[in-house]
Structure 1
Amino acid sequence: MPANRQLPSESPVAPLACCTLDISPAEQQRLTAMFKALGNATRFAIVKYLVTHPGCITGDIVEILPITQATVSQHLKVLRAAGWIQGTIQGPATSYCLHTANIAWFRAKVDKIF
């Protein structure tokens, strides 16, 4: 198309974004860390399990996944650092559940994107 010619108003050009996400660099880093942590199939399975089994311990998760306890512990560490889960020490074990406040924050940010 010649440079001096304008597109008609009905042309199929990409529309302006319907929404924008006003987010600080720290919030963006937090959001991407949460996406990254959940992007692993094993960690996703752990989060799914915790939805219906809050308060379980590492051994409970080991029983349902075909991986070692050490590997489960590493995945729990990543999920905890990203803010998906929280742990409460109960004697010699740690009881894990979803971190509902962080998940609510994540959902609110994702809703603003889509």
Structure 2
Amino acid sequence: MKNNGVNKAGKVISDVLGGTMFSKDNFVSLFPFFFYVVGLLMLYITNVYIAEDVSRDIDKLNREAENLHVEYVYLDSEITRITKQSNLAVMLKDKGIKESVEPLRKIVVEEGGRDE
């Protein structure tokens, strides 16, 4: 039995290398297989192109995220700088609004003192 398997494999290899595999009779019987292989190759090529597009999109989005993060940090520092009490006092002084110099007072309401 082993010898039969070796002879069969040798025959297939000699048919492929010799070109007899592509004779009309063999080609017609192997046409569905060739069609299947060509279809798989087309799917593989399509998958490679789609993967490259997705990779390009990911790189583009990563660069955009970096730029947005830099912009966020810059704007956050600007807002922090502008809303400091000393800067607000200078900006609002022109509009006639002054900074309070009196300390805050706590208003306490007693429970029984209010008319209900």
Query: Please, what TM-score do these two structures have when normalized by structure 2?
Result: 0.22
Higher helix share: 2
Higher alpha-carbon Rg = 2
Name the structure, 1 or 2, with higher relative contact order (CA <8 Å, separation 6+). 1
Identify the structure with the greater strand proportion: 1
Q: TM-score, normalised by structure 1?
A: 0.22
